[in-house]
Structure 1
């Protein structure tokens, strides 16, 4: 099937970079609309979520950069939400018109920063009717990171005490809500300006990381979800109870945090998020039921992608940033 038959247009706009560097390498260009292959669907993208891995890879940092460095130009983005406009012949789970979201092309293909994107059908979940598609784009990678960190790696149980670093951020604001929905006692670190934001979710305690040391404030914790890494992660090891566990997300410092834990005789794990449609469907159900809400700090037009990356890299976003790809 030719792209014109699928979409009634021949080309689309997408964001690419042909070399690593600062946000100035990001370009918006015209490109042919891709066609879905076996097991895939074509999405008319409404929103593409931005994640820290996006700007780090753009700079040439991390695993993904080593994988794509000889295949530039590359279209970034893993979070996409939109409407299915075409399906491969072997796809029976989704149909044209379905509203979907997913973590697509992870880790090497990318492709979400575009008006159209192909995705594996088994990586996509139906978006709850209550959620508009631009907002839905803020969900997949951050929410899956929070979910897998808390429930797969840390195995958080009801009534346990959990400390979540950077609780007001993209992953953090999902993590505090998931932990609260699981009836845990939730402590979060944040700046003073985000105290009320976290209180709205029902967070039990907020620690101002700029003026307080978690090791002085917390002890006997069952779980720490470390979204900061480095020294913050290592200091947090002192807050764990005898059977407690810390899960650290930033890969660049994971080894040093885990090594420090081993030296102290406590448990810590690094983790990498992965696409999982069953987890995403559980998350969508919580959103549908009103137990979790998605906070979008700012929406950018595709032509503002450089500004969006600069803001993302500053590291003080409340909730999520999204590109409007329509």
Structure 2
């Protein structure tokens, strides 16, 4: 049988449960393509699923479990009925989310609707950084908040994975962008296009900002509470679900401040990925890679990711 390298877990736990080993290559099904993975993006949801051993779509544990969703690579096989891609095409995407995608592997199969042609101007590692974080930013800004040119948006955590894409996408849409970050990332977010930067180590958000139309909250906790103080009545606060207590805080404060609160969940979309690829190739969207690691060192990548201070994205390279 044909084999490949993969990273999987047999029990939930810390980074030591990540096992780099040989497994059988996946078998193509109708409507799928076989991708030779060249890079896999790292997201916080990766280490959450590793720590708890959970299949996100069901909340149950099915082991062994191969971690990861974001991939970039080449098409090496076509399932029955596939006409959207050809062997040799370079593609990227977030297949099957929130079901198991097995991205930390040399080969994966993926439904054609979950993928798009890779941005030509980006490396595989840069492209692999986009799907989950980029789709989260795109869908939060344009599907949920309906951000318009001329509006003002506050993006908390602008130097992070979602944040650094959200700044660029909001500027492309024509919005005025305010963001929060630490001192070391002030110049970084300015270079991304932020109009106003709040250094949260030196300034109070509630004192420095007022009357924004939209908030994209990637932090939660006290930052989310302060976000309600700066948004206009009739505005909207969109929050990401990865932080404990976010839903309760949002539902408590939204009526008090006369704003809409939405807890958003990303969904896979080859169409949105294709649009972001066009922006990347036009020089309007880029990935900042804080670090890359070979597939066998996925544990090191998870340790860095769990530290919570990654600038932009991390990726695994799959040679």
Common topology (TM > 0.5): yes
Q: Spell out the pairing of 1:1-326 with structure 2 (5 A cutoff).
A: 10-60=2-52, 64=56, 67-69=59-61, 71-251=62-242, 252-259=244-251, 260-326=253-319
Aligned equivalents of 1:206 and 1:313: distance in 2? 25
Q: Unmatched 5+ residue regions in structure 1?
A: 5-9
2 CA distance for matches of 1:239 and 1:62? 37
* 8 A contact 1:248–1:257 mirrored in 2: no
C-alpha change, 1:313 and 1:164, in structure 2 (3 Å) is: same
SS of corresponding position for 2:80: coil
Flag as ranges the 4+ runs of structure 1 deviating above 4 A. Answer: none
**2:289 and 2:315 in contact (8 A); partners too:** yes
CA distance in 2, matches of 1:38, 1:89: 5
**How many pairs are equivalent?**
317
How many angstroms apart in 1 are the aligned matches of 2:113 and 2:259?
37
| Deviation (angstroms), 1:106 | 0.9
Cα deviations across residues 193-243 of structure 1 (Å, max 9, x unaligned)? 001111112211111122322111111100000001122112111111122
TM-score by length of 2: 0.96
Task: State the 1:26 CA deviation.
Answer: 0.6
Q: TM-score, normalised by structure 1?
A: 0.94
Q: CA deviation at 1:105?
A: 2.5
Contact preservation (8 Å) 1:48, 1:323: yes
- 1:164–1:172 contact (8 Å) kept in structure 2: yes
Q: 1:66: how far off?
A: 5.7
For structure 2, which runs of at least 5 residues remain unmatched after alignment?
none
Q: CA deviation at 1:95?
A: 1.1
Aligned alpha-carbon RMSD (Å): 1.5
